[in-house]
Structure 1
């Protein structure tokens, strides 16, 4: 079975527009009045004639967001010195769908409360690598992607995500989230969330009650020691799970905790495991490098009895990639391991 995983789609618009900062005359066969767009364009920004719905204000050392023209749908403000977000900038911007404010100096107190929630059609909001200490709220219910990586977030206001039913991707990696930051209601309401990234925080426990539709879950580089029993029972669509660089031990993994029929890619590198955990026949990629595993027993690891000589390929375990380097295992690869996982294409020891 070939499975293709489609995560968030990022549409990039490319133009061949040639421009100068001072445009005096322009001749176009196009019926649009391009001189009007040039006049309306904020002086410090670039409005490409061939893409009139976009406004490029990135890499301009701006300290404030200019007044955004009404026609703009795609707004690029990354790599500036902006520290505040006020309603004045967006009073006319009723068509905005995309805002990129990555790599600025924005603080939580610098965001006027409710400034984003008034942008009723906003789909993508990027605030990565700023100085935020909490998740901005309220946010528009239309939002599909929220990227907040690389901030200093320690607080998620109660109900911050409760109305974001359209959100498919939430990125909170590389912040300062603690176990106490996350409650059983934190992610309540995210009915369509497909990708959740909480890597590189300060968690010692698994987040309580995650949305059931999550397909990709990233929890790398925390200090998680154990996974509660039945933790994944309601996550029936989980395909990709990453728990690298944590403090997981054998005792912290309940028997068959990864018995998830949808799971195809499991990453447990850089933990403290001394044996291979039980997996399902459906798993295709398993990363266990840099643990403390000293031996491999193929008969014990195999999710089914070792298949005989005449077995239909459809009934074989689906594992194709197994990584075990950085452990205490010495070659050769155990023969019973190969008898079990006959579809293996690569084993790294």
Structure 2
């Protein structure tokens, strides 16, 4: 813009400021002015955020120390105006339309007190060549940066955090001495760029390093050797293989607690992992084996996530988890396990083995996992006879067991008595044999939906033994009436998508606490539901009976229905015998 044009703009801005001051009484002849639509305080805070500014505001108060200009449409900064704000400590310009052309190299040259600079979500293609030495935090996330200069972040002893994620940075765009003279940087976020290698000469004070969602293929030798204080390392969603690292890649990271290597090309767990890791992400790789000594030195390991790999039970060494006394959560789902692996962590509390190929559970598969509280075996290939009656005998602390999506035809025997949640959905269960639910007085939730259960295929006292049951899901079965003898504790009953034709007046006499009854999509006739059936249910909040059949109560239909029910009952009694 020509100098004359800028002078005119400055004059207009001054007139607007004076007008604003005169209207609001906030300014005097000597007092600081405040741009129109902005908020100013006597302490030097100026807030011009989100007021649809097209240009950097002129004639801001010289005493401004915190300036917020975020969420506007600013495309250019006038260095001479910014230079006036010699006390500026915080400058927030995120969510504007600034380009590198509109941000001159000398823009921040005179801001010797600037500590915090926010330029995220703009259109910058190269970083500023010079930033003030007093800088503590710089945010350039979500731009189009392809190049960083040596003094962009170098020679800044106070610098603590740098945010460069969601840009277009490649290895060629980073200087080798990017943090030369800035050894105190603690947080470096460079995720979602185009880096193939870990940046060189990383600051030794780092405790959080994010490099996920790049193109990393290799971690150069010694890349992390100086980062003894690093606690969080994110490397997921790259192209890292075991050939791209060595046995000492992570060994010097003595403070590391969180390591994410998920969504890479690993075929085995890297060697030399440090002992202080608490959470280890290895999911979504191609890991086929867990060797004997690859995990045992990680004495502080609590969470091990190995789902979505190619593990078979024979590929897991029986001593792979030996000595890991703190390991309480293990995810092995979506692998190729054909049986329960040997040598499971002795103190594991949550074990997720769903979506594998497991076809049997032997007597001693869980004989040493005394502390197990949650076990998920859903969507395997289990059949009722292949689950040993004593397989769960040691699991006295087990609270949740999921066997959904298997090939069970009957409810298995031998469930732990302390179970609170039991899921048997989406099987082929047609019978609940006598004794299978005995003694389960702590069970609160039972899921039996999408099976083949009929009323008379359930032994008579099954429900009465479940004295703490609050939720019973039997949707998607072949029930023709409401199950009898439901427990007094029941609060929610799901019976939708069955073949229920009648609801007797005393169907819910045993369940005075019930809050929700779901009977949608059955075959209940018009007039078959009587108000007296529900009048004593003082806690009832939901009665869902939509989608039922409306058919006439002719004697023929009634007789046919009764005859059909009698035939089904005879068949069910025969099955139970």
Name structure 2 gaps, 5 residues minimum. 1-44, 50-55, 68-84, 109-113, 404-577
Pairing 1:36–2:99 present: no
Matched with 1:220 is 283
Q: 1:91 to 1:236 in 2, by over 3 A?
A: closer
Pairing 1:283–2:318 present: no
Q: 1:91 to 1:37 in 2, by over 3 A?
A: farther
Matched with 1:75 is 138
Distance in 2 separating the partners of 1:37 and 1:181:
48
1:36 positional shift: 2.9
Distance in 1 separating the partners of 2:268 and 2:392:
35
Deviates more, 1:56-65 or 1:113-122: 113-122
Q: Is the 8 A contact 2:221 2:246 kept in 1?
A: no
1:188 positional shift: 2.9
Q: Is the 8 A contact 1:298 1:340 kept in 2?
A: no
Distance in 2 separating the partners of 1:87 and 1:40:
23
Name structure 1 gaps, 5 residues minimum. 1-15, 305-316
Matched with 2:177 is 114
The CA RMSD measured in Å over matched residues stands at 2.9
Matched with 2:312 is 249
Q: 1:275 to 1:59 in 2, by over 3 A?
A: same
Pairing 1:340–2:394 present: yes
Q: Is the 8 A contact 1:211 1:235 kept in 2?
A: yes
1:253-264 correspondence runs (5 A): 253-259=316-322, 260-264=324-328
Work out which of the two has the higher radius of gyration on C-alpha atoms and give 1 or 2. 2
1:41 positional shift: 4.9
1:182 positional shift: 1.4
1:335 positional shift: 5.5
Relative contact order, CA 8 A, sep 6+: which one is greater?
1
SS in 2 for 1:89: helix
Spell out, residue by residue over 1:242-262, the C-alpha distance to the aligned partner (whole angstroms, 9 max, x if none).
111111111101114223211
1:1-349 correspondence runs (5 A): 18-20=47-49, 21-22=56-57, 24-26=59-61, 35-38=85-88, 41=91, 44=98, 53-66=115-128, 67-91=130-154, 93-259=156-322, 260-277=324-341, 278-303=343-368, 317-330=370-383, 336-349=390-403
- The count of aligned residue pairs is 316
Matched with 1:11 is none
Q: 1:256 to 1:188 in 2, by over 3 A?
A: closer
Q: Is the 8 A contact 2:162 2:187 kept in 1?
A: yes
SS in 1 for 2:284: coil
1:213 positional shift: 1.6
1:238 positional shift: 0.9
Distance in 2 separating the partners of 1:323 and 1:142:
41
Spell out, residue by residue over 1:179-210, the C-alpha distance to the aligned partner (whole angstroms, 9 max, x if none).
21111121232111111111111111221211
Q: 1:76 to 1:301 in 2, by over 3 A?
A: same
TM-score between the two structures when normalised by the length of structure 1:
0.82
Q: Is the 8 A contact 1:41 1:69 kept in 2?
A: no
TM-score between the two structures when normalised by the length of structure 2:
0.51
Distance in 2 separating the partners of 1:226 and 1:39:
54
Q: Is the 8 A contact 1:243 1:269 kept in 2?
A: yes
Q: Is the 8 A contact 2:337 2:358 kept in 1?
A: yes
